[in-house]
C-alpha cells in the first residue's frame, strides 16, 4: 500500500518553463489537496478537489492549474514558472471530513 | 470560520523533560482536531486526532493531547523528551459536517537539548 506518491521528488526549472507535478493515491480517497511550504509561512493551500472531475481554488492559486480526471490522480501544473514558485510542494488526500490527511513526501522545486 | 493558533514558533526542551506544545482553535461548531509531525526533508505524518469520544487522545511515539472545549485548546504533550522528537509540529482543525479542508497552524519547531 503506497499511500500518496508524488513525482518528481526534485526539479530545477528555468523561469518561464512549464511543468506538471503528479500526485497519485491508492486509498480510494475522495478529497485531494496541493500545498506549498515555505520557510516561516507554514502550509498554504493552492488548489483542492472534493471528487473526480472537480477542482477548487485555495488561498494561493495564482500561477497554478490543476486537474482531477481520475479519482486517484491530482495534477498540479505550472504554465510559466517564476522564481517565487520555488518551494516544497506537498500533495495530500483524505477519505472524508472526519479524517485527517495522508501526505506525500513532497516535491522540492527550484526556479532559477 | 475556523482558525488555529500555535503559541511559540520555536520550543526547546532538555532531553528527558516534559514536552508541551500549545494549540488553540476557533470553531463555530464541534471540531475535529489533529496533530502532525514533520521530520526534516519529509512529509507530514499524523500523530493523533480527536473526533468524538474521549477527550484525552493518545498518539504515536508517546505523545498525547487533550481536547478542552471550555479553553478551546488541544495541547500536545509528552512526559519525557527524546532526541528523536526534534521536528516541526502542526496543529490542524476541521469543522464537522462537510468542511472540505483542514486549517493548519503555522507550526512549532521543537529542539531537544542533550
Percent of chain A with pLDDT over 90: 88
CB pairs under 8 A between A and B: 52
CA neighbor of A67 nearest in space, from A59, A78, A76:
A76
Chain A residues inside the 8 Å CB shell of B51 = 98
Length, in residues, of chain B: 114
CB–CB contact A100 B49 (8 Å):
yes
pLDDT digits (tens, 9 = 90+) for A10-51: 999 999 999 999 999 999 999 999 999 998 888 999 999 999
The nearest alpha carbon in chain A to B43 belongs to A105
Is the pLDDT confidence value at B96 over 70?
no
Q: Which residues of B touch A (CB under 8 A)?
A: 32, 34, 36, 41-46, 49, 51, 90, 92, 94, 96-102, 104-107
CB–CB contact A43 B90 (8 Å):
yes
Q: A52: buried, middle or exposed (CB in 10 Å: 19+, 13-18, 0-12)?
A: middle
Amino acid at each position: 500500500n503506497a499511500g500518496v506518491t508524488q513525482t518528481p521528488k526534485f526539479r530545477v526549472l528555468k523561469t518561464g518553463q512549464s511543468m506538471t507535478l503528479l500526485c497519485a493515491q491508492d486509498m480510494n480517497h475522495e478529497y485531494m489537496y496541493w500545498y506549498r511550504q515555505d520557510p516561516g509561512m507554514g502550509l498554504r493551500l493552492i488548489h483542492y478537489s472534493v471528487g473526480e472531475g472537480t477542482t477548487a481554488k485555495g488561498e494561493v492559486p495564482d500561477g497554478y492549474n490543476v486537474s482531477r480526471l481520475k479519482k486517484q490522480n491530482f495534477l498540479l501544473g505550472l504554465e510559466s514558472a517564476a522564481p517565487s514558485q520555488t518551494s516544497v510542494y506537498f500533495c495530500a488526500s483524505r477519505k472524508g471530513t472526519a479524517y485527517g490527511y495522508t501526505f506525500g513526501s513532497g516535491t522540492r522545486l527550484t526556479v532559477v | 470560520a475556523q482558525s488555529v493558533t500555535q503559541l511559540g514558533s520555536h520550543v526547546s526542551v532538555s532531553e528527558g523533560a516534559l514536552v508541551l506544545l500549545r494549540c488553540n482553535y476557533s470553531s463555530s461548531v464541534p471540531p475535529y482536531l489533529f496533530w502532525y509531525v514533520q521530520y526534516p526533508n519529509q512529509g507530514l505524518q499524523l500523530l493523533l486526532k480527536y473526533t468524538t469520544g474521549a477527550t484525552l487522545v493518545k498518539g504515536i511515539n508517546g505523545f498525547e493531547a487533550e481536547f478542552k472545549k471550555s479553553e478551546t485548546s488541544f495541547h500536545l504533550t509528552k512526559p519525557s523528551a527524546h532526541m528523536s522528537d526534534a521536528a516541526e509540529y502542526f496543529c490542524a482543525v476541521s469543522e464537522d459536517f462537510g468542511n472540505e479542508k483542514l486549517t493548519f497552524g503555522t507550526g512549532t519547531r521543537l529542539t531537544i537539548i542533550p
